[in-house]
């Protein structure tokens, strides 16, 4: 393969047929990409796609079933909720919350986890001991309980939830990165840089980081999926992002009281979550297969 400059190298790396491990891994990957693109489209183009604002209340239209049912109307494709808001619009707008929470949490977790993992793997010794201890303590916690604990302490809301979710995922990055850093630090190019006098900070940033980046991306996709699911669970338990913004988890929490009378309120947000998580997971799987060093 001829070396290509900068960003196009990355692009071709992903799409060049020569780098595929199995032909069959392409289909799920493509499906994942399609699902994710769909959700991303909803998030980005929500004002255009959604027929109503997610907060428009129409009391006299409350609890209308989806359009294909007898009592439904074509004005509300998936029906309305308990105060008459259009469910389809809310689901489309909800993509923004779920995606932004998921991506923000994955990103924050990546930053924290990778930084700590790199330090632990590269410096070793006391630093490694402390960080490994932190990782084990974190893993020893029944996470859902701890998350509720934290969120009740600091209130719900976007920022606290993102922080708590980042707290859930940083360990994934840390462990992987630490392992890789451990094996990389004895490699030639690192030793060479050290002998030339490159400082640790620069070493970490310029030399180690790019090598672990592919793993971070793969872990990142799974962490984002995990974050989206956990956000939904937290909203369901009542300690998530503000219940007044239409996050899918909050919609599930609301719909749970109407499971028998207005089933559409609970089913469709759940499907949305499942689709998104599935898409992200499939993408992550595909990325993992392509970035797996053993396959090259």
Q: Return residues touching other proteins (CB under 8 A).
A: 24, 28, 55, 57, 59-60, 62-63, 82-84, 133-134, 136-137, 139-146, 148-150, 152-156, 225, 229, 232-233, 236-239, 242-244, 249, 252, 254, 256-261, 263, 266-267, 270, 273-278, 281-282, 285
Which of residues 2 and 60 has its CB atom nearest to other proteins in the complex? 60
Which of residues 164 and 212 has its CB atom nearest to other proteins in the complex? 164
* Residue 205: CB minimum distance to other proteins, A: 29
Q: Please, what sign has the CA dihedral across residues 104, 107, 110, 111?
A: negative
Check: CB of residue 172 under 8 Å from CB of residue 221: no
Which of residues 95 and 229 has its CB atom nearest to other proteins in the complex? 229
How many other C-beta atoms can be found within 10 angstroms of the C-beta atom of residue 168? 21
* Residue 51: CB minimum distance to other proteins, A: 18
* Residue 272: CB minimum distance to other proteins, A: 10
Cα–Cα dist 121/58, whole Å: 57
Check: CB of residue 284 under 8 Å from CB of residue 236: no
Cα–Cα dist 77/55, whole Å: 16
* Residue 177: CB minimum distance to other proteins, A: 19
Cα–Cα dist 3/133, whole Å: 42
How many other C-beta atoms can be found within 10 angstroms of the C-beta atom of residue 239? 22
Cα–Cα dist 234/144, whole Å: 8
* Residue 260: CB minimum distance to other proteins, A: 5
Which of residues 155 and 199 has its CB atom nearest to other proteins in the complex? 155
Which of residues 69 and 136 has its CB atom nearest to other proteins in the complex? 136
């Amino acid at each position: 393969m001829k070396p290509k400059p900068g960003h196009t190298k990355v692009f071709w790396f992903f799409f060049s047929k020569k780098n595929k491990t199995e032909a069959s891994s392409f289909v799920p990957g493509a499906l994942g990409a399609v699902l994710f693109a769909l959700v991303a489209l909803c998030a980005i183009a929500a004002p255009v796609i959604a027929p109503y604002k997610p907060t428009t209340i129409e009391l006299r239209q409350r609890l209308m079933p989806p359009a294909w049912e007898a009592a439904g109307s074509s004005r509300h494709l998936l029906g309305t909720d308990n105060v008459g808001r259009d469910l389809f619009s809310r689901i489309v707008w909800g993509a923004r919350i779920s995606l932004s929470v998921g991506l923000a949490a994955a990103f924050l977790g990546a930053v924290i986890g990778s930084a700590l993992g790199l330090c632990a793997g590269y410096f070793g010794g006391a630093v490694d001991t402390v960080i490994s201890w932190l990782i084990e303590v974190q893993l020893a916690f029944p996470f859902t309980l701890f998350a509720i604990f934290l969120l009740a302490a600091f209130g719900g809301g976007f920022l606290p939830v993102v922080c708590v979710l980042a707290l859930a995922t940083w360990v994934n990055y840390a462990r992987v990165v630490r392992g890789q850093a451990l094996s990389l630090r004895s490699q030639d190019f690192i030793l060479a840089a050290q002998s030339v006098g490159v400082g640790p900070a620069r070493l970490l940033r310029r030399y180690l980081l790019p090598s672990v980046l592919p793993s971070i991306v793969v872990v990142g996709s799974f962490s984002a999926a995990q974050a989206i699911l956990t956000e939904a669970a937290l909203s369901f338990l009542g300690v998530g992002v503000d219940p007044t913004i239409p996050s899918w988890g909050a919609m599930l929490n609301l719909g749970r009281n109407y499971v028998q009378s207005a089933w559409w309120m609970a089913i469709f947000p759940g499907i949305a979550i499942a689709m998104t998580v599935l898409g992200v997971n499939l993408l992550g799987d595909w990325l993992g297969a392509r970035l797996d060093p053993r396959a090259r």
